Amino acid sequence: MVAGLALTAGLVSCDSGNMRRDPGHVYAPDMTYSRAYDAYTANPNFEDGLTSRPPVSGTVARGHQLPDHLVEGDTSAYKSFTTSLRFSEDEIKEGGRLFNIYCGICHGTGLDGQGPLFNSGKFASMPANFKDAKYLHMPVGQMYAGIKYGKNMMGSYASQLDIKQRWMVIAYIKKFQSENGGDAFTFGMDTHPAKEVAAVEEKSGEM
């Protein structure tokens, strides 16, 4: 009975017999009615009428890397292409996290090419097994090109991973490979100056 009354009251109060279009008193009109141009509204201040502006040409957004200048198909450049970025343990771990998100579905979280998508039989092409001799000594630049441009059945991951993230993922793969028969892991190592000084001191101590 009480519930019924409440429902009726609710319905009655919603009855907009005479439509109420006046929102009533606006407490902070300069907040309710933005004076700034919203991102997707027309903007009379620019010739193209867009409020969202593209980046100014020749500039790099804060926190982003310079463009890499790698050219698709220039396979000899792939072999020598590398980065001067250096990664901490945490950043390599982050590379692993990104790998498991974007790559693990095909390459497997064990990096053996046995990801769930491939194992399901729904993806016909065998993803690279990073333990395999074919990939164990693969130049980092070639891996980078694979991520940036894709390779045959593998699509490009350029829009998902920025330049630094691509290299962090590669550092993660290379570290894994060094522990599974690959070359010693030196790529992108965080060579902190303090450690070098300590090493030099240790050496001179020995003499």
Chain contacts with ligand HEC (rule: CB under 6 A)? 102-103, 105-107, 117, 123, 125, 127-128, 142-143, 146-147, 151-154, 157, 161, 169
Least Å from the CB of residue 76 to ligand HEC: 13
Residues 6+ apart with CB under 8 A from 27: none
Least Å from the CB of residue 17 to ligand HEC: 58
Least Å from the CB of residue 132 to ligand HEC: 10
Token look-up 């945490």 returns: 90
Least Å from the CB of residue 113 to ligand HEC: 8
Specify the residue, 49 or 116, whose C-beta has the smaller distance to ligand HEC. Answer: 116
Specify the residue, 50 or 105, whose C-beta has the smaller distance to ligand HEC. Answer: 105
HEC sequence for the chain: CHHHHHHHHHHHHHCCCCCCCCCCCCCCHHHHCCCCCCCCCECCCCCCCECCCCCCCCCCCCCCCCCCCCCCCCHHHHHHCCCCCCECHHHHHHHHHHHHHHCHHHHCCCCCCCCHHHHCCCCCCCCCCCCCHHHHCCCHHHHHHHHHHCECCECCCCCCCCHHHHHHHHHHHHHHHHCCCCCCCCCCECCCHHHHHHHHHHHHHHC
Least Å from the CB of residue 83 to ligand HEC: 15
What own/partner pairs with CB < 8 Å and gap ≥ 24 does 108-113 have? Answer: 111/173, 111/176
Least Å from the CB of residue 180 to ligand HEC: 15
Specify the residue, 50 or 117, whose C-beta has the smaller distance to ligand HEC. Answer: 117
Specify the residue, 120 or 186, whose C-beta has the smaller distance to ligand HEC. Answer: 120
Specify the residue, 50 or 70, whose C-beta has the smaller distance to ligand HEC. Answer: 70
The values of phi and psi at residue 38, to 5°, are -70, 155
Specify the residue, 51 or 156, whose C-beta has the smaller distance to ligand HEC. Answer: 156
